[in-house]
C-alpha cells in the first residue's frame, strides 16, 4: 500500500504519518504546498490523504484561501479520479457555524473564509458521481494533541492554556467560558479513523469525527490550572471574532458508528 499525505508537516499530518509508520507496513510520501506539484507519474499511489490547507479561521485573504483550500482540492480530486487513486480529505465542523444541530445532513452556516472553503468543497464532492474511486471526507471537530505548538493562535485551547500556565503561571480565558463548549477530539483518534476506513470501509461519504461529548473551555482551563498551579484571568471576547465564534459544537456520530461501532474516544480531561 502506498499513501500520499498532503500537509504532511502540519499538526494532523505529522501525527498521521507517524501513526501509519508505527502501525502499518504502508509506504508514505508527503506533499506541501510549496513543493509545487505532485509527481503522479513516478509514484503509483493507492490513496491520497488530503490534509493540506490554510487552517486559520481568521485568515482574510479570500483569494488565497480559495486557491489552496478549494481550487487545489478540486484539482486533486479530479486527478485522483483520472488516475484511479482513492481519496480521503479533511473537512471541518466549522461548516456548521452557529447551528446547534450537527448531523451531516443538517443545514450549514459557514462563518469564515476557511469554513466557506471547506463547505464549498464538501458541496462539490457531494455533486460528483465517483464510481472509479472511493472518496471519504472527515468533518473534524476540535482536534488537539501532539505537534500543534507551531499553530500559534490557531492551536487548541489545550495547547494554548498549557503553554500559558507553564510559562506565565496564568491562563487567559474569555468571560462566560462555562457556556462555551466544544467537542474536543484527540489527534490520535483521528489517525486511527483514517486507517480504519482505508482498511475496512469501501464507501463514499462525509462523516463527522468527534467524541459526541462537549466540554467547556472553563473545565479545560481549570484542569490545566490545577496541573500547573496557575491562576485564571478572564477577559472580554474581542469584537472581531464574536460573529463567527462557535459557542457550542458536539458531533452527531450516528453515521460513523455504522463503521466504528462504540469506539472509545479519548477523554480530553483525562488526557490533560
Please tell me which residue in 108, 151, 213, 266 is annotated as part of the active site: 151
pLDDT of residue 41: 67
Residuewise pLDDT in 10s, the chain (272 residues): 999 999 999 999 999 999 999 999 999 999 999 888 788 867 899 999 999 999 888 788 999 999 999 999 999 999 999 999 999 999 999 999 999 999 999 999 999 999 999 999 999 999 999 999 999 999 999 999 999 988 877 889 999 999 999 999 999 999 999 999 999 999 999 999 999 999 999 999 999 999 999 999 999 999 999 999 999 999 999 988 887 789 999 999 999 999 999 999 999 999 99
> pTM for this structure?
0.94
151 included as an active-site residue: yes
CATH superfamily for domain 2-144+185-210+251-263:
NAD(P)-binding Rossmann-like Domain (3.40.50.720)
State the catalytic residue, choosing from 114, 140, 144, 180.
114
- pLDDT at position 136: 99
C-alpha cell at 203: 464507501
Chain mean position to CA 148? 12
- Among 111, 118, 114, 112, residue whose Cα is nearest residue 91: 118
CB 256 within 8 A of CB 207: yes
Residue 40: per-residue pLDDT: 81
Q: SS3 breakdown of the chain: % helix, strand, coil, rounded to 5?
A: 40, 20, 40
Strand partners, 135: 87
Closest CA to 12 of 48, 50, 57, 45: 50
The answer to whether 81 and 75 have CB atoms below 8 angstroms apart is: no
Distance of CA 35 to the CA centre of its chain: 22
The CB-side HSE value for 209 (13 A sphere, CA atoms) comes to 27
Q: Kind and range of the H or E element at 67?
A: none
User: Which stretches within the chain are classed as H helix?
Assistant: 11-23, 62-65, 72-83, 113-127, 157-168, 187-200, 217-228, 239-242, 257-260, 268-271
Q: Identify whether 180 is a catalytic site residue.
A: no
Amino acid at each position: 500500500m502506498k499513501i500520499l499525505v498532503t500537509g504532511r508537516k502540519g499538526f494532523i499530518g505529522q501525527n498521521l504519518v507517524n501513526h501509519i509508520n508505527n502501525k502499518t507496513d504502508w509506504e508514505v510520501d508527503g506533499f506541501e504546498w510549496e513543493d509545487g506539484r505532485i509527481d503522479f507519474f513516478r509514484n503509483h499511489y493507492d490513496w491520497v490523504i488530503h490534509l493540506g490547507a490554510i487552517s486559520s479561521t481568521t485568515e482574510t485573504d479570500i483569494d488565497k484561501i480559495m486557491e489552496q483550500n478549494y481550487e487545489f482540492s478540486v484539482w486533486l480530486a479530479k486527478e485522483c479520479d483520472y488516475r484511479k487513486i482513492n481519496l480521503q480529505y479533511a473537512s471541518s465542523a466549522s461548516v456548521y457555524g452557529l447551528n446547534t444541530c450537527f448531523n451531516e445532513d443538517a443545514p450549514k452556516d459557514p462563518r469564515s473564509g476557511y469554513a466557506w472553503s471547506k463547505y464549498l468543497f464538501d458541496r462539490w464532492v457531494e455533486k460528483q458521481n465517483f464510481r472509479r474511486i472511493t472518496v471519504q471526507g472527515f468533518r473534524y471537530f476540535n482536534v488537539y494533541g501532539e505537534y500543534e505548538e507551531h499553530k500559534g493562535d490557531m492551536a487548541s485551547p489545550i495547547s494554548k492554556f498549557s503553554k500559558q500556565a507553564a510559562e506565565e503561571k496564568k491562563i487567559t480565558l474569555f468571560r462566560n467560558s462555562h457556556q462555551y463548549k466544544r467537542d474536543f477530539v484527540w489527534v490520535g483518534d483521528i489517525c486511527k479513523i483514517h486507517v480504519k476506513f482505508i482498511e475496512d470501509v469501501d464507501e463514499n461519504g462525509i462523516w463527522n469525527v468527534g467524541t459526541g461529548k462537549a466540554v467547556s473551555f472553563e473545565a479545560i482551563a481549570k484542569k490545566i490550572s490545577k496541573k500547573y498551579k496557575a491562576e485564571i484571568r478572564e477577559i472580554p471576547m474581542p469584537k472581531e471574532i464574536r460573529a463567527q465564534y462557535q459557542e457550542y459544537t458536539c458531533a452527531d456520530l450516528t453515521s460513523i458508528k455504522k463503521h466504528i461501532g462504540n469506539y472509545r474516544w479519548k477523554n480530553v480531561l483525562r488526557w490533560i
